[in-house]
Structure 1
Amino acid sequence: MDRFVYIHGFNSSARSLSGQKLSDLLNAKVICPEYDYARPFSECMASIRRQIVEAVDENNDRICVMGSSLGGFYALQLRLPSIMHVVAWNPVVFPALQLAQFLGRNTRFSDGQEWEFTRSIMLSYAQSPDPRPWRNEMWFREERRERGMTNDASCERIDHERAFSSCAGERTAMSAGASVLQDGPDVPRRDIFLGDSDDVLDADLTRAFWQHSAVLHDIVSGHQIVDYSHAEALLKKGKLLNDFSDWKAGEEWCVPFLKGGAFSMAAFFEPGEDMENVCRLLSVAEADYLELHGEKNGAPRDFLGVFFYPRHEARMKRLIAGLVRHGGKKRYLLLRADGRVLRHQVASNYLMDSEVHARPSERNVAAFLRNAFPGWQGKTLEWRERRKTSSFNQAVARSHFAALWSREVDPVEAFERSVHAADGQEGRRN
C-alpha cells in the first residue's frame, strides 16, 4: 500500500491545516507525526521515525514523506528502506544557523501556547548528517545499533571531507558522490519546491545546496504554502494503487484470481515447456502465484501469474525476467490493481522497460486475460500460496536463493548455475 506522511514545520503541529489539505488533495489518509521542537534534534528525529514505523507496514508499504520548512528538513533527513519519494516545501538547510532568528520565546500557531527555543537546542542540529547522500552517517549508525556494533576502531573513515564512516561490509558507492547515489536503485526520488517570495529562508541557499541531489521546482508562493495543487500530479504519479479485492472474476473459472485480492501487482508470463521447474523456482522464491491452464488454436498453452506489492516491484522484475528467460520466452505483462497493463520486453542480457499502457473497460479478470492473451481460451486457474513450513533442504535452498536475489541481476540463472555446480561436485565425489 502507498502511505503518505506529512511532517509539520517549526511552531506548527500535527493538527496543522497542511496535513488536512494534503489528505483532501490525495484523497488518502496522511500520517502526521508530532514532534517537540523544544527538544534536541536527535530526540525529534527518533520520535518522528518511531511514529512512522508504528503506523506503516515496513515489509510491504511504500512511503511518500512530505514536509514544510523544518518539517522539510526532517523529511529529507529521514531514512527508512520503505521510503520511495520525499517531497519538501521551502526546507530548512542549516537549522543550527537558520533558526537563530527564532531564539527566545515563541508562540505556536496551532494552540497559541508560548515556549522557549534555546541556543543549546538550536546547536543540537549541528550533529545532523549531510542528507544528500542517501546512505549517510545516520543510516550507518542505525545499522550498527541493529547489529550490536559500536563506533570503535573497527570503523574506518572513508570520506574525511564529509565525515562519513563505514564499518566492514558497509562500503558502498558513497565515495562516488551524491549525484551517483541519486541514480541508485534504492534511492528515492526527492523533489523540493521553493517559493519565489519566501521571506523566512534563503531559497538561493537551498537551491545551491540541493542542486545535484534533488529535483528543484520554483513555485509562486511565500514561505507558508496555502495551496498544494501544484504538486498533485507529482504526488500521485505511480502511487495510490488499490488492491485486487475490487476486481470481478468475470467467469467462474477465474474465481481463484481473487485469492490474490490483498496484493497490488501481478506479473503474467508464459513459462514455456518447463512449467514444473519454473513453479519449483517460484516456490524457492516464496512467491504467491496462479497457474493458468488453457489452450490456443486447440493446443495446450499455460501461463503463470505472480502476485506481489509495489514495494517489491524492482526486485520482482528481476525475478520475473529471470524466469521468462529460463522458460525461453521474451516478454511478460505487469498488471497493476488500478487497471494499467504494462508490457515488458526481456532482452538477452537486460530488461527493457518499454511499456505499452492499456486500460481494461472494467476491472474484470476474464476480460483482462482475453485482452492480454488474444486467442487464448482459459480453462482453469489454480492458486498456489507460499508454504508456511518446509523441509531443511527446502529452507536451505530458499535462504541461498534469497542471498542471490539480493546481489545478482538474474537470480534465477545464478541459482540454477549454483545448483548444477553442486550437482557436479556431488557426482565427482560418487
Structure 2
Amino acid sequence: MRQVPTTHLLYLHGFRSSPNSTKAQVMARSVAASHPEVQWWCPQLPPSPREAIDMVMRGIASWPRDSMAVVGSSLGGFYATYVAGMTRCPAVLLNPAVDPARDLAHHIGTQVQWHDPSQQFYFRPEYIGELKALEVGQLPRPERCLAIVAKGDEVLDWREMSARYPGSRIKLLEKGDHALSDFERAHLDEVMAFLHLA
C-alpha cells in the first residue's frame, strides 16, 4: 500500500446526481476542514460518458500520479475505475456500477436530477456505446482500491460489485442502501484513512 498522502482528490458522482449529493458534500467538508491544502475537484458530469471522461482526464492531466486519488459513487464508481485504470491511482468505490451499459439501456430518455428536479437532461441511445468504450479490465494495481458494497443496495447487485474487483479491499455491508445513507457516520473515517488523509 502506498504511504504517500493524497494531495489531489477527484470525486465523481453518480447517474442523475451532482456535486450536491450528500456523500460528495460530506467528503468536501471533511477535506476542507482537515486538509485544506488538498486540491479537491468534484465536477458536474455531463450526460455523455465520453464527454464526462474527456473532461475529467483533461482536468487531471497535470495532477501528480503518485499522490492523486479518485472516489466514485455508482456510475461515478464506473468512471473512477476507468480513471484508476489509466492513472494507477488509488480509488475508493461506493456501490460502483459494474455494467452501466446494460443497466442504463432502460433509462434512455428525459431524466431529472435527484438534487434539483428543475434540472433535466436527455440520456441518448448513443451513450450506451460510449459506456461500453470505457470498460476496463482488472485494475493494474488492485490493492490500491477500496470498494464499499452494500448487500441492501436496491439498485445494483452486490454480488456483481464485490466480484468485479479481485485483489482489492472489499468492505461488504450486510445491509445498507444504494446511497450509503450512513456514509458520514460509518464509512468516512475509513475512506479518509485509506487515502492517507486521516
TM-score bucket (shorter structure) = 0.7 to 0.9
**1:215 Cα shift?**
1.6
Give matches, 1:295-310, under 5 Å: none
**1:63 Cα shift?**
1.5
User: Do structure 1's residue 128 and structure 2's residue 128 form an aligned pair?
Assistant: no
User: Do structure 1's residue 218 and structure 2's residue 175 form an aligned pair?
Assistant: no
Secondary structure of the 1:130 match is coil
Q: Which residue of 2 aligns with 1:194?
A: 149
Distance 2:104 2:195 in 1: 35
User: Do structure 1's residue 43 and structure 2's residue 51 form an aligned pair?
Assistant: yes
Q: Which residue of 2 aligns with 1:28?
A: 35
Note if contact 1:14-1:33 (Cα within 8 Å) is conserved in structure 2.
yes
**1:234 Cα shift?**
4.2
**1:235 Cα shift?**
2.3
Bigger relative contact order (CA 8 A; separation at least 6): 2
Q: Which residue of 2 aligns with 1:311?
A: none
Q: 1:47 to 1:131 in 2, by over 3 A?
A: farther
Q: 1:100 to 1:190 in 2, by over 3 A?
A: same
Give matches, 1:301-340, under 5 Å: none
Note if contact 1:2-1:240 (Cα within 8 Å) is conserved in structure 2.
no
Secondary structure of the 1:49 match is helix
Q: Which residue of 1 aligns with 2:22?
A: 17
Q: Which residue of 1 aligns with 2:159?
A: 204
Q: 1:237 to 1:201 in 2, by over 3 A?
A: closer
Q: Which residue of 2 aligns with 1:301?
A: none
User: Do structure 1's residue 69 and structure 2's residue 74 form an aligned pair?
Assistant: yes
Note if contact 1:76-1:131 (Cα within 8 Å) is conserved in structure 2.
no
Q: 1:237 to 1:123 in 2, by over 3 A?
A: closer
Note if contact 1:6-1:65 (Cα within 8 Å) is conserved in structure 2.
yes
**1:206 Cα shift?**
1.6
Instruction: Give deviations 1:94-125, integer Å, cap 9, x for gaps.
Output: 11101123222210123222222122212321
**1:31 Cα shift?**
1.8
1:100 to 102, 105, 111: 105
Instruction: Give deviations 1:362-383, integer Å, cap 9, x for gaps.
Output: xxxxxxxxxxxxxxxxxxxxxx
Q: 1:52 to 1:203 in 2, by over 3 A?
A: same
Distance 1:216 1:106 in 2: 31
Note if contact 2:150-2:158 (Cα within 8 Å) is conserved in structure 1.
yes
Query: When the two structures are superposed, what TM-score results if normalisation uses the length of structure 1?
Result: 0.39
User: How many residues matched?
Assistant: 183
Q: 1:227 to 1:25 in 2, by over 3 A?
A: farther
Instruction: Give the letter for the 1:62 counterpart.
Output: S
Q: Which residue of 1 aligns with 2:91?
A: 86
Note if contact 1:198-1:221 (Cα within 8 Å) is conserved in structure 2.
yes
Q: Which residue of 2 aligns with 1:365?
A: none
Q: 1:100 to 1:218 in 2, by over 3 A?
A: same
Instruction: Give the letter for the 2:146 counterpart.
Output: D
Give matches, 1:163-312, under 5 Å: 182=142, 189-210=144-165, 212-219=166-173, 220-228=175-183, 229-237=186-194, 239-240=196-197
**1:72 Cα shift?**
0.6
**1:47 Cα shift?**
0.7
Distance 1:77 1:24 in 2: 26
Query: When the two structures are superposed, what TM-score results if normalisation uses the length of structure 2?
Result: 0.79
- Structure 2 segments unaligned to the other structure (5+ residues): 1-5
Secondary structure of the 2:172 match is strand
Q: 1:8 to 1:237 in 2, by over 3 A?
A: closer
**1:81 Cα shift?**
4.2
**1:43 Cα shift?**
2.1
Q: Which residue of 2 aligns with 1:52?
A: 60
Distance 1:232 1:213 in 2: 22
Instruction: Give deviations 1:292-314, integer Å, cap 9, x for gaps.
Output: xxxxxxxxxxxxxxxxxxxxxxx
Secondary structure of the 1:207 match is helix
Instruction: Give the letter for the 1:96 counterpart.
Output: A
Q: Which residue of 1 aligns with 2:3?
A: none
Runs of 4+ in 1 over 4 A off after TM superposition: 79-82
Instruction: Give deviations 1:331-383, integer Å, cap 9, x for gaps.
Output: xxxxxxxxxxxxxxxxxxxxxxxxxxxxxxxxxxxxxxxxxxxxxxxxxxxxx
Distance 2:88 2:13 in 1: 20
Instruction: Give the letter for the 1:34 counterpart.
Output: Q
Q: Which protein shows a greater Rg?
A: 1
Give matches, 1:271-420, under 5 Å: none
Distance 1:42 1:218 in 2: 30
Distance 2:130 2:191 in 1: 33
